[in-house]
Amino acid sequence: MKKVKLRKFHAASWDEPFIMQMGNAGERGIMVPDVDPEIAQTVGEAESLVPENMQRQTPPTLPELSQYHVLQHYLRMSQMTMGMETGIDIGEGTCTMKYSPKINEKLARLPQMTEVHPCQDEETLQGILEIMHKLQGFLSAISGMDMFTFQPGGGANAVFTNACVFRKYHEERGELAQRDEMITTIFSHPCDAATPATAGFKVINLMPDKNGYPDLDALKAVVSEHTAGIMMTNPEDTGLYNPNVEEYVKAVHDAGGLCFTDQANANSIMGIARARDAGFDACHFNIHKTFSSPHGCEGPASGAYGVREELAKYLPVPVVAFDGQAYHLDYERPHSIGKIRSFMGNLGCIVRAYAWIRNLGPDGLRLVSETAVINHNYLDKLLMKIPGVTRPYGPDKRRLEQARYSLEKMYKDTGVGTIEVRDRMVDFGIQSYWTSHHPWIVPHPFTPEACETYSREDIECWAAVIAQISKEAYENPQIVMNAPHTQAIRKMINLEQLEEPEKCSLTWRAYKRKKELA
């Protein structure tokens, strides 16, 4: 490995006021032309169309700004953030932050995609319905399931759909009152516990055994006639693929429950392991992570949820059907759980996923997984040489496309923990890493994921940043403790303010909840 030269970097810092503090009275973005006298004569004053009791007495206290200054304000704000494609996003493990080919973006933005409306007659939607139908087929081939829906607006929404489908299944068999326990594992994604709770189930969590796998004996001890099912992630965030997953599935099936696997992180298994072959009844994909669309706030998400044939009748309506000649939206499904969200799903994600899969083909998908796993294992080799970095559970077991590491040793040696290291990373022009899902079972965690689109140089650069910060922690911890130094803002020290209802409440509900706690 060549010596990596760390990049010098400094973020833009604009000292920008809030938009509510900007502008001057009378400033406008657009001057709306006067209404044509003929129109005004025919329909009357626009105000007369609004019922009197709904008309404002005082104008809203909105800032008054020109279009140019609004644009300038938000451009400055964007410059003060770390853009996904300006840095190296290897740190955001479980988010699969890989490069999204721009051709897919171009296709998603064709007017044929952006200008259609879900209420159009289905005869005029044949093209997009065909894409949806074919994408269903692709995902079925990847997972082994029989039917998919794209209605859920994200991963957790898809996992919630599963909880509703399992609930409906037991309800139709008259066993819902008895089967009120859903099992998950503590290293599974938190939505695997949260969504069955929302659907009314009691949630039972399995702890890891000493090898990092969910405790199989604990599962065998708790499955019973009360078991509705299991909702688990594989590979879990430890990066370990559970080789005995069939045993877990069998234990739940034998007790009369159903089995779901959360495949939000599928970047290591495409073309290699199919959920159906492991015995699962249902699964989902975050097609905004694995299949081209970027994850996070860069756009709407899409959770594709798939089931085996016996459960297909419970899927949300409408489903896309093909009668050999034309595509239809099928609403006549009496066993359906109903709607999980309006309309059919986020079209942009669907189109990008379709284009991405068509471009790669089956062999290409497998190559993606293999490359992602090799990339991560190269990163792993580099990280494990860095003082203060450890990787709990199964020291000799190879990880897949991501893994959870710990800086507990560094914290004990130097007082520099994972939060401080994270805040220091951005000084090198690299996106700060993601720590862990909650609860933190691995102390001082961080979770990188070196997807297939990063080069060897990118991976070496990312590891070199961690190595540099480790060196600083052991030699001059104050540099790390006081980071970031070259960002638009400095360290947030008054985190308590986030708990104060008056200072930080994003919703009315949050305000009330914080007020109650205070």
Give the footprint of another protein on this chain (CB under 8 A).
186, 193, 197, 201-208, 210, 215, 217-219, 221-222, 411-412, 415, 417-419, 435-436, 438-441, 443-444, 478, 493-499, 517
Here the tokens at position 196 are 């069955």
Q: How far is the CB of 259 from another protein (least distance, A)?
A: 17
Q: How far is the CB of 205 from another protein (least distance, A)?
A: 5
Closest to another protein by CB, 390 vs 453, is 390
User: How many other C-beta atoms lie within 10 A of the C-beta of residue 441?
Assistant: 19
Closest to another protein by CB, 136 vs 195, is 195
Closest to another protein by CB, 350 vs 469, is 469
Q: How far is the CB of 12 from another protein (least distance, A)?
A: 25
Q: How far is the CB of 160 from another protein (least distance, A)?
A: 16
DSSP 236: -
**Closest residue by Cα to residue 239 from 404, 63, 92, 35:** 404
SS (H, E, C) 304-352: EEEECHHHHHHCCCCEEEECCCCEEEECCCCCCCCCCCCCCCCHHHHHH
Distances in Å between the alpha carbon of 389 and those of 133, 239, 266, 399, 463?
Answer: 46, 16, 26, 16, 11
Closest to another protein by CB, 22 vs 481, is 481
Strand 227-233 to strand 181-185: parallel, antiparallel, or no bridges (unpaired)?
parallel
**Closest residue by Cα to residue 331 from 345, 315, 346:** 315
Q: How far is the CB of 94 from another protein (least distance, A)?
A: 15
What residue ranges in 193-246 does DSSP mark as E strands? Answer: 202-206, 227-233
Q: How far is the CB of 408 from another protein (least distance, A)?
A: 8
C-alpha to C-alpha distance for 296 and 22, rounded to whole angstroms? 29
- DSSP-based helix, strand, coil % in the chain, nearest 5: 40, 10, 50
Q: How far is the CB of 171 from another protein (least distance, A)?
A: 18
Please, what's the largest Cα pairwise distance for the chain? 82
Closest to another protein by CB, 331 vs 440, is 440
Closest to another protein by CB, 175 vs 215, is 215
Closest to another protein by CB, 208 vs 348, is 208
C-alpha to C-alpha distance for 180 and 182, rounded to whole angstroms? 7
The amino acid that residue 183 corresponds to is I
